[in-house]
Amino acid sequence: MRKHPKFLLLTAEYGNGHVQVAKALVQELLNHKYADVVVSSIYSESYPTLTSISESMYLKSYTPLGKPFYSFCYHGFDKVCNKKVANWVTKIGQKRLSYLIDTEQPDVIINTFPVLAVSALRRKTGISIPIVNIITDYCVHNTWVQHEIDKYYVASPHVKERLHALNIPHHSVVVSGIPIRASFEQPASNDLRKKYNIDTEKKVVLIMAGALGVLKNIKKLCSMLLHNEDCQLIVVCGKNRELKAELDVLQQSFPTHLHVFGYVEQVDELYRLASLMITKPGGITLTEASAIGVPLILYKPTPGQEKANALFFKQQGAAIITHRTEEVYQAISFLFQSEHMLQTMKQAIQRIHQQHASTTIIQDIMETVHNRHFLSAQSR
């Protein structure tokens, strides 16, 4: 037996969330010197051109024409994923996966994206390596649910019950929370308002365009909100340079009320400044907001997991869902006039958060790996 177990983390670059979860787990492993880690973006490594095209199509889901198509694919595949019609999908990445298993000899395989090739390979070859899924949303798509998976790590009790309804036993599901960067759960600096030149007397609206800058109508929204002199805006444009250039021009007219950033590594600091946040309801962003306790206005959720995430947070009293810029403005005006409602939403979103998800997951997996090695040694 080698000194440290080896982890194979499988992820995919559809959006930024699945990769962020993998990075959080890697950092947890490195911090505690638990294991050797291999991270594979398995689809882009297997089919670079095809993956690039499909990632581009994923981004189109945020456009008016792309939303219906994405909804059709999401819900359509959800219905057929256990049928022969979709069996060809399980072959995608299988060759690359077999190579990684043969060369790296991992002690455990972790999916931060539903890689169906893993379950298919177990059915085909009988591999006994433990396989776990980390579900990165507050809902369950059937692609995550395979009987070959040994354990599931989920965001909430609601997701656990949904898996149980799909015939996954309770003992195979751990309510761990979704792994996020450690900085979101660490003590904050006391001088953030001074660092970012934020007026302590005014409320702050944080607008997150997403890592890829896909949130729409941001300039129009900013123009509307800037008419409220008691409001300051922080906008994170992600990698959308065109959006940042547009807002940089607008900022010249509102130098003390509008703060514009591109991609921000220490983005937890901006969350801590926010009175509330406008964002797309991706699983990672929602988890980050719950860790800090930032009330949410969820803008134009796309059909599929975003819509399901949004509905869950709305039902918990932690978010307001909007579909037009005028609705966003009305929601902000209402919340800023009702401190009680703002605090109620803050408390609601904090209740959703499961602390230290990365630690919970890694410790549980390490126990599984050690027990497996112990039983293997006993049988010799």
Rounded to a whole number of angstroms, the CA Rg of the chain reads 22
**pLDDT of 87 above 50:** yes
Q: What is the pLDDT of residues 234-258, one digit of tens each?
A: 999 988 899 999 999 999 999 999 9
Q: What pLDDT shows up at residue 116?
A: 86
Q: What pLDDT shows up at residue 372?
A: 74
To the nearest 10°, report the CA torsion of 156, 157, 162, 164. 130
The residue-averaged pLDDT of 370-380 equals 56
Cα within 13 Å of Cα(65), Cβ side: 2
Percent of the chain's residues with pLDDT above 70: 84
Confidence of residue 78 (pLDDT cuts 50, 70, 90): low
Q: What pLDDT shows up at residue 70?
A: 44
Q: Closest Cα to residue 242, out of 264, 219, 266? A: 219
* Pairs from 56-61 (Cβ < 8 Å, separation ≥ 24): 58/14, 58/15, 59/212, 59/214, 61/302, 61/304
Q: What pLDDT shows up at residue 4?
A: 80
Q: What pLDDT shows up at residue 187?
A: 87
Q: What pLDDT shows up at residue 34?
A: 65
Phi-psi region of 15 (alpha: psi -120 to 50; beta: other; left: phi over 0): left
Confidence of residue 169 (pLDDT cuts 50, 70, 90): very high
Domains of the chain: 6-178+355-378 (3.40.50.2000), 186-352 (3.40.50.2000)
Q: What pLDDT shows up at residue 72?
A: 46
Measured between its terminal Cα atoms, the distance across the chain in Å is 13
